[in-house]
Structure 1
Amino acid sequence: MPVGDDRLVGLIRDGLPAGDTIGVALSGGGDSTALLHLCLRAGLRVEAVTVDHQLRIESAAEAASVAEACRAIGVRHELRVWEHGAVTGNLMDAARRARKALIGDWARSRGIGVIALGHTRDDQAETVLMGLARGAGLAGLSGMRPAWEGGGFRFRRPLLSAGREELRVWLRSEGIGWIDDPTNDNDRFTRVKARKALAALAPLGITVDRLAEVAGHLARAQASLVAQAVTAARRHVAEQAGALRFDAGLWTEPGEVQRQVVLAGLMWLTKAGYPPRAAETERLMLALSRGQDATLAGCRARAGWLMREPRAVGDPVAVGGLWDGRWRVTGPQGEVRALGAEGLRQVKDWRMTALPREVLVVTPGVWQGEILLAAPLAGHPGAWQAELDAPFHLFGLVD
């Protein structure tokens, strides 16, 4: 029996459904390469997708070598490229968002409903350490989820209890190569700093295994808290036109329940990978509870509503694409971008919706140049429809 084969294949069989085609997010690194080959060893039907972020000169050649490796073992593979200009702000977060969108588009085009990711126990420990650095609450310290649903897909991390080196030992025993990404050693990135900090903390007993164990304990406590938060959200939060309205009853709930609901709202609105810092979340909660104005993480609080901030909404997309990471507009051709103040001026009956102006200006409009063709959420749908990628009560709190 090859090194670790029985245990690792068992993790795959326990973590992924046998009857579905599994979409493997394949970077070519050791973790995702092991995931692909272990899926094949487990007898699963798989397809793979690689995202070239175009952030390094070598990335195109590396993606081509991944495609060739898949061809050699008979796995259908596609390459998706992140077309971008200068990236401002948090590069890794922007790349993560782009990767998620490109993988989702690929899976949708292939009719694939299950996407497998190659995160390991080491990633789990690093996530907990990064959460500590941000002053995260219980949710942020519970680590990565092994399974969740979003955007019409089931995401799975079947190797979350496997170690990074354990996977590389298995790959070496099988004679399978992988690509080492030099950015994994670049101190510019927070996760790399966390990885190196873990090595320094090991003499104190703060190891990958120990932090992953702590994450498991906290995840169980988080699950109990989430059950309370789900009940509170159903009672006190209403979703309208892609924004959230909080009633006064939420602020009578236990403080941590309030926090969980607000965090779920922020994560739903922004699709961010990480929650904001605890102090910033507290500031936003106070504003919401008092009906005051505040902004945080691309969201805006106003008069008890939480909505997208106008300057933070996504770039234009063609009708049929996913706009702002949340909205899919269907209908005839056109460009989808924020309705904005100018678009709202072109909808004379928007007040009939009884929705605040601030909510409507960040909903999708369909445009042809500067001509507004439709405003589906503002009472001017025309031949277009706009639907959310995931309703609030199906996102964050309950997946």
Structure 2
Amino acid sequence: MPDRPAPNVPGQPADTTATLPETAPPLPTERPAGRPFDPPEELGRLRERQPLSRLTFADGHVGWLATGHAVVRAVIADRRFSSRQELMRSPIPGTAATGPVPPAPPGMFINMDAPDHTRYRRLLTGAFTVRRMRRLTARVEEITAEHLDALERQGPTADLVQAYAQPIPALVICELLGVPAADRASFQDHATTMNDNNATPEEGYAAFGAVQAYLGELVSAKRSAPTDDLLSDLTTTDLTDEELAVIGALLLSAGLDTTANMIALGAFALLCHPAQFAALRTDPGIAGRAVEELLRYLSVAHTGVRVALEDVELDGHRIAAGDAVAVSVMAANRDPAKFPDPDVLDLRRNASGHVSFGHGIHQCLGQQLARVEMGVALPALAVRFPALRLAVAAGDVPLRTDSDIYGVHRLPVTWDGGDR
């Protein structure tokens, strides 16, 4: 969900202008020229000088920016910092909301605090069973193989986003939610349009409406005739149809956009680092570490926000109640205090401790499924097409710099016709 301006925290001022500096810089967003996988250089300089510093948010609020790994983890794990939708402010310049927004709708648990968040989280965690994950792993392997076959038939050129990175997680989400096979093509089209920054607002709203309407009908169908899927399991709880439809849309959005961009941007990074791409092909044992390293190195969900519910002392600073804190995931994941040579992509690195899936009670619920999808799709691509390469110059690959999820709009690739 987009970050929104915050109303006053009850009993506290929304801004503490009397104690704030007159000015503070905006969030650095410009990545270094010719280095599409690196964070803005100013983030590194800020982290080196002061891992918690002042920041001007899009609406003019002067809050904080966390860039150090330890500080980011502390903020996102501390329940004195809120994730509530109605308190959010956008740190991205030029994206201030035009007015206040109500609390998150029932079911949108990622924009809630305990105890509401706890209730939803507990129910959903119980639905991600070991048996379901094993079955989904087998389906990821089948879906990946089918798309590799299709690439080989259509080759030797393709847009890897459209032909591979987007359809795999979209179909896996269909499996998870129990979308019938006959509906999957239409559902996938609407889901892709909903997350497409190139779509017009009218197209985006229409796609969102179609997805919501479909999920509402699907929930009703699952109540009448349950099948072996997550939505059917959740119909046995006390969740309402409205809550289930929102949860379905949330899982769709989170599971499709982030994973699709991790697969596409991961492939782009590997093709720009041929030795790493070759290592992924020749050493299957590094697949698990490779996934963690790519998650760390790329940090596609690059910036989050928390809001202090009370005064908090952190890293030698007093964060006042009502202050927004932007947490730079990409800066934290490149912190040399945590990861030696952090700007080097090394698939054999032990990258445990990265914060790409968050930390604490809001840590990504579907992280294991995302790991499975990346851990199958990227090595399989390297094995099937060992001579895979970019079909355009790296500088001509269109980047998603206009989104809160980083990635590529297209990834034109080519390979030898007899590549195997």
| Structure with bigger RCO (C-alpha 8 Å, 6+ apart) | 2
Normalised to the residue count of structure 2, the TM-score between the two structures is 0.24
Normalised to the residue count of structure 1, the TM-score between the two structures is 0.25
